[in-house]
Amino acid sequence: MMEMLKSGFIIEELKATNKRDVLAELIAVIAEKEGSIDPEAMLRVFLEREQLGSTGIGDGIAIPHGKLAGLAETILAFGRSRRGIAFESLDGKPVHLFFLLAAPENSASRHLKALAKISRMLKDGVFRKNLLEAKVHEDLVRIIAQKDDEC
**Of the listed 65, 96, 111, 137, which one is catalytic?**
65
Is 65 one of the catalytic residues? yes
How far is the C-alpha of 142 from the C-alpha of 61, rounded, in Å? 19
CA 112 to chain centre: 14
CA separation, residue 144 to residues 9, 12, 14, 24, 149 (Å): 12, 13, 17, 22, 9
d(CA 124, CA 144): 12
Instruction: Enumerate the active-site residues.
Output: 65
